[in-house]
Amino acid sequence: MKTKYLILGLVLVGSIFSACSRDEESFFDKSAAERAQQALDNANSVFVAPKNGWEMLYFANPESRGYNLIVKFREDGQVIATAKNSLTTGNKMLTDSTSTWEVVSDYGPLLTFNTFNEVLHAWADPQEDGDGYLGDYEFLILLATPERVVLKGKKHSAYMIMRPMPDMDQEEYFDACASLLSKYFGNGNIMTLQQSDSLYYLHNGSTGLFNIVRYGDKAQAEDPVEYPICPTLDGFIMSFGFNDKHNERLYTLNEDGKFVGEEGSVISSGDLSQLFLTYIDVNKGWKADLSASSGEFADAATAFQDQLVALSRDRKAKINSIAITYSDTVFRYTGSYILRIKYEYKAGSKKTSLTADFAIALSRNDGKVVISYDKPANGTAATWYQQASELSKLIESVMGTFALEAEDTLNPTTALVLTNDKSNIAVSGSSGLK
């Protein structure tokens, strides 16, 4: 009896394994080895297809900004790589076509540049410090389609993307990508990120490393949260997405001048009045452009400058700058906004530069910026207030409620005007108290 049961058990087990084998054959049309080879063949065919090669948005490591490369894979196993950047090529075009490439199997398809390429291996060269830029020359292939290839550095795990290179001059391509980064994120410009129901500030995009803080907060002075980006012709690509949206890497510039992410996040210039006050806090102030201003403010500045000439008996006496800045220590005041007027004249043969500081209050009201007195003038400011009657008119012309206008809403820090019914005051980013 036991022998019969044993034989029956073996028959049942054999039937089960046979059924599993048939199910596996029906679920997978090919064996694991065949599927692996198919992935290799697909990657090879995708890589060599574009006639102009690929734009490669290269991140040496997860903490490094991205750089633009052009890579053309040839069917004979040769690769042509071109770069132009300040870090590895000294802003000169550099092309190397003497190396080879291959797609091999390493727990999945792996792209390797298996002989030295001056353009590509510059990122992985240890250099004198033993680390270099911590780049890779072997990449896991996460996605390979005719429209996009997604790679991940084998050693340092940075994500990077390749897209077919457009039919254009290569040097024009590099210049256009650098221009986009400078135009929209340069000159200290602050952007806003709308992500689901949350708002954030984005600072320092021109460095290729966005700093991010919650809307209304100051940028962190130390150890800011950074997000590496790489510019393209139509937007930018990130090594990993903002906050918890790590896979939202591609942002495209739309007709409204906004950068829209793959999952719906939007980057724009945001609320100008909020940006104005935040910019003063973060970047230490704004400076008025007298030549581009008009109305009561410009007239008062001219009258005060004429009075400076008379008081100093120097026809070259002039207002050097008028700026709104933020200071942690000015006289006995701390944490104050300062309206600073800096002017210079000659005393005998010696050129003298003096400043008058006025502690002011800045606030927002119905989307506008309100400038008002905070504390009375003292020191040099008080002295000059007594001697130069036109100074009081100049100060009064800056006090009031101003609307904000920007010629370029995506880059308001380079073309912003404070305006009311009496004055138009053109302002630009200032380096702060000096």
- For the ranges 187-191, 295-299, 358-362, the maximum mean pLDDT occurs at 295-299
Residue type for 119, please? V
Q: What is the pLDDT of residue 13?
A: 43
Q: Give the pair of three-digit tokens for residue 159.
A: 């994500």
The Cα-based distances of 262 to 98, 192, 242, 347, 380 in angstroms read: 37, 17, 12, 63, 56
Residue type for 108, please? G
HSE, side-chain direction, 13 A CA sphere, residue 130: 0
Q: What is the pLDDT of residue 83?
A: 96
Q: Assess whether the region 45-167 and the region 276-429 belong to the same CATH fold.
A: yes
* Residue extents of the structural domains in the chain: 45-167, 171-268, 276-429
Stated as kind and residue range, the H or E segment containing 171 is helix 170-185
C-alpha 191/C-alpha 257 separation (Å) is: 12
Question: Residues 120-138: pLDDT tens digits?
Answer: 998 887 766 656 677 889 9
Question: Residues 353-393: pLDDT tens digits?
Answer: 778 888 888 888 888 999 998 866 666 667 777 778 888 88
The Cα-based distances of 74 to 122, 167, 213, 230, 244 in angstroms read: 21, 17, 45, 25, 38
**3-class state of residue 302 by DSSP:** helix
Q: Would you tell me which CATH number, out of the four given (3.40.1390.10, 2.150.10.10, 3.40.640.10, 2.40.128.280), belongs to the domain 45-167?
A: 2.40.128.280
C-alpha 272/C-alpha 276 separation (Å) is: 6
Indicate whether 215 pLDDT > 90. no
| pTM > 0.75 | no
What class, spelled out in words, does domain 276-429 have in CATH?
A: mainly beta
Indicate whether 14 pLDDT > 60. no
Length of the chain: 434
Q: Do residues 261 and 200 touch, judged by C-beta distance below 8 A?
A: no
Q: What is the pLDDT of residue 24?
A: 45
Q: For the chain, what is the mean pLDDT?
A: 83
Give φ, ψ of 373 to 5 degrees: -65, 140
How many beta carbons lie within 10 A of that of residue 94, not counting itself? 15
Q: What is the pLDDT of residue 282?
A: 67
